[in-house]
Structure 1
Amino acid sequence: MVMIKWNEMLMPYEQAVEELKIKFKSIRKEYRKIDEYSPIEFVTGRVKKISSIIDKAAKRNISLDMVQEEIEDIAGIRIMCQFTEDIYRVIELIRNRDKKDLFIVEERNYLGKIKESGYRSYHIIIRYPVHTVFGERRVLAEIQIRTLAMNFWATIEHSLNYKFEYQIPQTIKDRLKNAAEAAYNLDKEMSEIREEIVDAQEVFQAKSNVIEKIAKNIQKLSILGNKDCVDLQNKFLILQKEGNYNKLKDFNNKLELRLDKRNNYYKP
């Protein structure tokens, strides 16, 4: 068996996780910037610990010099969604990137085919190209997509599996199944009122964005030497307290018009 240089071996996986996190966080940010609802709530990622890789290889009877080809989740990211419907939107986002900046190897649907434990999630195994000092490496990585409720349940189950070394007592298994069903019902209930929740969140995000724009535009006018910036700031604070989105938007439009006039005035 070849001697494993763990630090060197894991570096491409660490790079893959960081790059994938940035890509999907950027998608979320883009939706927020254009005042649209994002199917991605948040993203996490990790590279398996050496001890976990060795344990998994032993359980599956995999030689250590074959772990990079046989173990698919050395690099892994999780994409959390608010609603079950959002999971399928994220799946489509990933499929649309296939053969562009990632390569889909396999999809595993644990939403339609729930595990006996009650586990629900959607897994996509990909090969992800990483550019290193030694050239391009296409490493295997796993993307897990699940709701916040599914993630809470899965995190608890993982902790219990670790504690009991995957031999969870039957009484706790039964309670976990009940909890999985409760999480499923919670997701179902939230889907029933999804439209109202999304509308409320979009209004909040739009108001937050326009407030940020106003603050920056007043600062720009101040830098340009406008003498009424204190009055503008005071009016802004009054409008923010009122919380009327249309009034805030109208105020920002007037600020941007003033900025355009100033910029045009100073053009050569």
Structure 2
Amino acid sequence: MMETVILDQRERINTSEIQARLEKAAQGGKGIDPKNVFPAEEITEFIDMMQVYEGAMYEISTKLEVLDSEFHVHFSHDPIHHMERRLKSVNSILGKLQRRDLPLCTKSIRDNLFDVAGIRVICNYRDDVYSVANYLSSQPDIQVLRVKDYIKNPKQNGYRSLHVIYAVPVFLSNGEHYTPVEVQFRTIAMDYWASLEHALRYKSDLPDVKLSEHSQTLLDCARSLQNVETQMQNIHRDINGAPRQEEAPVSEGPNPADQADL
């Protein structure tokens, strides 16, 4: 007797909303140069392209889920605390192209934007960050396009995270399409620090004096958290036999232009 399988009905991209926003851009919206509008004939192509990015995002996240399960079986340890996925919105994509003075078209997106699909992987320890990133990178159908290790080399504001742009094949009726996905690996502590810093920078209307004061405090907190994480990781290493990794994956593909954070 055949087993009945119910497909996982994930929330899909809103194609009608995408079409409406692109049609508005094609008419030359506010702040858009009429000579640099999104071609109306490419709207269907854009929607198809976004579905490919979505497919790539779920391909990577499935691989990560399998890796996490394998760790649990072999080491009684789950390296991944949770994951967050997102596709860039139409406004965000068009805005980024405009800021970089690039044509508003699908070719421009494919050639210049490597963070349309993104996954944030929240791990328990720094060892987990590097282990999961390296195991994912070693899979034969995965290409590593770019690596930025902000854990070993934090940003000036204290931000720490490992950013890797992978390319993964998405199989469609007309063949396979290698598609980039930006994955940010960070620990729980790095994540809640980054969330607060992001809110301070983008979502607050505090006076400049207060912003400067809080920014300095967050920088001090980042250093303190790094020390605490190191101490806790050393304890974890003594009581757990999970792999120890301290190096980021090595980029093997073309080095795409720097992209904004998720």
TM-score where L is the length of structure 1: 0.65
| Cα distance in 2 for residues equivalent to 1:45 and 1:123 | 14
The partner residue of 2:231 within 189, 192, 197 is 192
Note the C-alpha offset of 1:168. Answer: 8.8
User: What is the Cα-based RMSD across aligned positions, in Å?
Assistant: 2.7
Structure 1 or 2: larger helix share?
1
Note the C-alpha offset of 1:26. Answer: 1.6
The partner residue of 2:170 within 115, 118, 130 is 130
Note the C-alpha offset of 1:35. Answer: 4.5
**CA spacing shift, 1:118–1:196, aligned 2, 3 Å:** closer
Note the C-alpha offset of 1:63. Answer: 1.7
Task: Check the 8 A contact 1:125/1:142 in 2, yes or no.
Answer: yes
Structure-1 residue corresponding to 2:70: 30
**CA spacing shift, 1:138–1:171, aligned 2, 3 Å:** same
1:78-110 per-position Cα deviation (integer Å, ceiling 9, x unaligned): 11122223222223213312xx12111111111
Q: Which amino acid aligns with 2:148?
A: R
| Local SS of the residue matching 2:151 | coil
Q: Out of 85-94 and 189-198, give the one that drifted further.
A: 189-198
The partner residue of 1:77 within 115, 119, 127 is 119
The partner residue of 1:163 within 186, 203, 218 is 203
Unaligned runs of 5+ in 2: 1-37, 242-262
| Local SS of the residue matching 2:80 | coil
Structure-2 residue corresponding to 1:59: 99
Structure-1 residue corresponding to 2:10: none
Structure-1 residue corresponding to 2:32: none
Structure-2 residue corresponding to 1:179: 218
Unaligned runs of 5+ in 1: 203-268
TM-score where L is the length of structure 2: 0.66
Note the C-alpha offset of 1:13. Answer: 0.8
| Cα distance in 2 for residues equivalent to 1:15 and 1:108 | 24
| Local SS of the residue matching 2:203 | helix
Higher-Rg structure is 1
Note the C-alpha offset of 1:31. Answer: 1.7
Structure-1 residue corresponding to 2:147: 107
| Cα distance in 2 for residues equivalent to 1:129 and 1:144 | 19
